[in-house]
Amino acid sequence: MSAPALSADDSGLYCAAGDFHIDPWRPVKRAIITHAHGDHARPGSDAYLCAEPGRLPLVLRVGDRVQTLAYGQQLTINDARVSLHPAGHVLGSAQVRVEVGGDVWVVSGDYKRQADPTCDPFEIVSCRVFISESTFGLPVYRWEPSGFVMNELVDWWQNNADAGRPSIVLSYVMGKTQRIMASLASLVDCEGRLFAHGALQKMNEAYRASSVYLPTAPNPLEVGDGYDFSKAIILAPPSVAGTPWMGRFKRGVTARASGWMRVRGRRRRLALDRGFVLSDHADWPGLLCTIFETKAERVVLTHGNSTVLARYLSERGLPAEALTLDRWGEQEEQE
């Protein structure tokens, strides 16, 4: 076997044949970005490449040196053939297929197998080596169908509204927020009752400009003093927890939507009233079935519980290893 198509160097995952990095954590010459979350898309590189639907969110993150590739379209970079395939994580999220001398590697980036109205669904790409995320690589992480969770969220909102209490949902700026907005709009009429914190507005606009339908959600600070939020639902980034911004919503009830909410201790640590288990990552069964469906002969795990999943797969006869990519070692995935 010749040199591996991809290997870790001090900037991240590197393809020597193509001379490019995937999701580098410091500036490089050429970066392929799986999606525009902060821990995957860092500014400062000379050139960026991402999937076509993810262009606007990525421009918000790294500026306009962004080239795009349609899903499935092939591009030759030096001695490597590259194509991007939907990962179902957030708008424009992509798996990176790298072929060097007939050897096929796929880098999953972050992915999920559940339905999401704001992005293309995950697509299985066969490969010899699969580099998979493993954020939720423990069997306690199993998701309910998103429709079920969204109905719970609507019930919660309704009960709060009946009690005259504003509902505040803390959700990640890109992806989760828009997924909740689009899902809410498909279940109930949100007109005049849905608001989004100012820090979410730019990303919402980027989604709308990318032809994703989102309901109207004005900034609650711009609807005039004395507005009655008692029946409203307000989306906000997790960083607002405990800040004076929250004080505006008298008797507000706070929830967070994240895969981490599956575990009570976390919800209680954050002093939340409610946690909704809604994740943009694959759960344990999702990781296992994806890994087996790729028919990979070798699996490399990154992020989260990588050592656990690697050991489990190895014990089941599939060669697997954990790879620490982040310079911070194990850092917890935000979502």
Partner 1 sequence: MKRFTRLFIRLDETNKTTDKLAALIDYFSAAPPRDAAWAVTYLTGKRPRSPVNAAQVRAWVQSAANIPEWLFTESYDAVGDLAETVSLLLPEPGMGSSLSLSDWIETRLLALAGEADESVKRQTLLAWWAELDRPGRFVLTKLITGAWRVGVSQRLVTRALAETLAVDKDVIAHRLMGSWQPDDSFYAMLSSADTTDTDISKPYPFYLAYSLDQEPRALGDHRQWLVEWKWDGIRGQVIKRQGKVSIWSRGEELVTERFPEIRRAAGRLPDGTVLDGEILAWSHDKDGGVMPFGHLQRRIGRKTVGKKLLEEVPVTFMAYDMLESQGEDIRRLPLDRRRDLLEQLLGGESADQALRLSPVVTANCWQTLDSKRQESRDLHVEGFVLKHRNSPYGVGRRRGDWWKWKVEPYSVDGVLLYAQRGSGRRASLYTDYTFGIWQGDKLVPFAKAYSGLNDEEIREVDRFVRRNTVEKFGPVRSVPPELVMELHFEGIRRSTRHKSGLAVRFPRIARWRRDKSADQADSLSTIIALLPASERD
Residues that bind partner 1 (CB under 8 A): 138-140, 142, 262-266, 268-269, 271, 273-274, 305, 308, 311-312, 315, 328-331
Concatenated DSSP letters of 261-328: GGSHHHHHHTT-SEEE---SS--HHHHHHHHHHTT-SEEEEESSSHHHHHHHHHHTT--EEE---STT
Give the shortest CB-56-to-partner 1 separation in angstroms.
32
Q: Tell me how far CA of residue 214 lies from CA of 17, 119, 188, 277, in angstroms.
A: 41, 12, 13, 21
* Closer residue to partner 1 (CB): 65 or 327: 327
* Closer residue to partner 1 (CB): 121 or 242: 242
Give the shortest CB-263-to-partner 1 separation in angstroms.
5
CB of 174 closer than 8 Å to CB of 57:
yes
Cβ-based neighbours of 58, under 8 Å, separated by 6 or more? 33, 36, 41, 48, 50, 66, 92
* Closer residue to partner 1 (CB): 157 or 312: 312
* Closer residue to partner 1 (CB): 58 or 261: 261
Give the shortest CB-310-to-partner 1 separation in angstroms.
12
Give the shortest CB-97-to-partner 1 separation in angstroms.
31
Q: Are strands 94-100 and 103-107 parallel, antiparallel or unpaired?
A: antiparallel
* Closer residue to partner 1 (CB): 79 or 144: 144
Please give the structure tokens belonging to residue 290: 């994806």
Give the shortest CB-295-to-partner 1 separation in angstroms.
23
CB of 323 closer than 8 Å to CB of 131:
yes
